[in-house]
Structure formats: C-alpha cells, structure tokens
Amino acid sequence: MSKLRLGPIVEEKPVKLTVELPGGLFRDLGDYAKAHAAENGLSQPLTPEKLIPPMLERFMNADRAFMRGRRRQ
C-alpha cells in the first residue's frame, strides 16, 4: 500500500459533536484506521471519533478555494 495522506494524530481538547454516517463509510473508516495504525506503528487502530477530525482538517486545508476565501475574510 502506498503512504496514507493522514500522518500521526496530535491530541487536542475535544468538542462534542454527533454525526450519522452511512454504514459503508463507517466500515471504510475502520479499514482506514487499521491501515493507519499499521503505518504509524500503533498497537491499536484509532476509533472513528479520533480519526475523523484530522481527516476533515486535512481535507479543508487541501481545498484551495476554501483557503483563498478564508484568507479574504
């Protein structure tokens, strides 16, 4: 497998948020968590609750239109 886009995850003070995910996406997150754990030397995969925030952050930071619009504000 090629290198995953999501690297090591830094802990930060959490904010509680409730979301509903389709079952298939939840299963995919579990598979991604296993691959992420193997690539980063973790003994256990992270839970979706720990995995989703950095994924969203990376997604938003990679969205050039969003970042341009944000700088204009």
Closest CA to 28 of 60, 55, 61: 55
> With 0-12 CB in 10 A as exposed, 13-18 as middle and 19+ as buried, what is 14?
exposed
Average pLDDT over residues 3-15: 80
Q: What pLDDT shows up at residue 1?
A: 57
- Average pLDDT over every residue of 66-71: 83
The string of pLDDT tens digits covering residues 27-45 is: 999 999 999 999 999 999 9
Average pLDDT score, the chain: 89
- The pTM score is 0.74
Share of the chain above pLDDT 90, in %: 48
Write down the pLDDT at residue 72.
82
